Chains A and B, each alone.
Chain A
C-alpha cells in the first residue's frame, strides 16, 4: 500500500515568487492536512481538507492557500514568498477526520533565497 506522496522533495525559490506543492494521500483517505515545520516553531497547522472542502484553517496569512481535488489529492500554494517561509512542509492524510491519527508524507523542503 503506497504511503502519502509529496512532490517535489526539495525546492529553492526566490523571494516574491510563488510555489505549489502537491500531496497524494493514501488510497481511500479523504482527509488531508498540511503542516509547516521550522526549528523554532515546530509543527504548525496550515489547513485541513475533507472531500474537497476546507474544514479547518490555521493562523497563517492569506498568501497560504490550498485545495483538494475529487481524487483527494491536494495542493498548497504560497504566493509572494518571504524568507521566513523557508521550512519543511508536511502533508498528512487520514481516512476521515483523523480520529485514528494521520499518516505523514516525507515532506517538501522549501528554501527561499
Chain B
C-alpha cells in the first residue's frame, strides 16, 4: 500500500465547475495536511493546509479532512483555466516527514 494515494487523472472539468481532488494516506500519526499545486516545469507551491477534521475554506479552495477515514480532499470552486496543474497531497507524518502523493493532474477546459 502506498503511503499517499491520489488518482493520477487527468481530471477534466469545464470552466466554472467544481473540481474535486481526493487523497488517502496510511500514516495514522499524521497531524498536518497540505495541498500543493505544481505547474508544468515549476516547483510545488503550497495552496492549502488543514490540521483538524472538517472543512477549511480559503477563497475558491476548500480542504476537507477526515482523520478516521484517513482521507483528505480539495475542492476548487469556479474552476479557471489557470487552475490547470498537478495537485499534490502531502500529509506530515511522524518526525516531521512530509510525504507526497504522485499528484492528480487537473485540466480545466474552456
* Cβ of B60 under 8 Å from chain A: no
* Cβ of A22 under 8 Å from chain B: no
A45 nearest CB across to chain B (Å): 6
When distances are taken between beta carbons in the complex, the residues of chain A under 8 Å from B99 are: 45
* Cβ of B17 under 8 Å from chain A: no
Task: Evaluate contact between A104 and B43: CB separation under 8 angstroms.
Answer: yes
- Tell me what chain B mostly uses at the interface: helix, strand, loop, or mixed: mixed
Task: Evaluate contact between A103 and B46: CB separation under 8 angstroms.
Answer: yes
Task: Evaluate contact between B44 and A99: CB separation under 8 angstroms.
Answer: no
A61 nearest CB across to chain B (Å): 18
Among B18-26, B75-83, B100-108, the stretch that binds chain A is: B100-108
Q: Using a CB-CB cutoff of 8 Å, which residues 1-46 of chain A contact chain B?
A: 31, 33, 35, 41-43, 45
Task: Evaluate contact between B49 and A100: CB separation under 8 angstroms.
Answer: yes
* Cβ of B57 under 8 Å from chain A: no
Task: Evaluate contact between A55 and B46: CB separation under 8 angstroms.
Answer: no
Task: Evaluate contact between A56 and B103: CB separation under 8 angstroms.
Answer: no
Task: Evaluate contact between A102 and B98: CB separation under 8 angstroms.
Answer: yes
Q: Which of A41, A101, A105 contacts B43 (CB 8 A)?
A: A105
Task: Evaluate contact between A90 and B43: CB separation under 8 angstroms.
Answer: yes
B72 nearest CB across to chain A (Å): 14
Q: Using a CB-CB cutoff of 8 Å, which residues 14-39 of chain B contact chain A?
A: 32, 34, 36
* Cβ of B45 under 8 Å from chain A: yes
Q: Using a CB-CB cutoff of 8 Å, which residues 54-110 of chain B contact chain A?
A: 88, 92, 95-103
Task: Evaluate contact between B49 and A101: CB separation under 8 angstroms.
Answer: yes
When distances are taken between beta carbons in the complex, the residues of chain B under 8 Å from A102 are: 46, 98
B87 nearest CB across to chain A (Å): 12
Q: Which residue of chain A has the shortest Cβ distance to B46 in the bound complex?
A: A101
B21 nearest CB across to chain A (Å): 15
When distances are taken between beta carbons in the complex, the residues of chain B under 8 Å from A45 are: 97-100
Task: Evaluate contact between B97 and A48: CB separation under 8 angstroms.
Answer: yes
* Cβ of A107 under 8 Å from chain B: yes
Residues of B within 8 A of A (CB): 32, 34, 36, 42-46, 49, 88, 92, 95-103
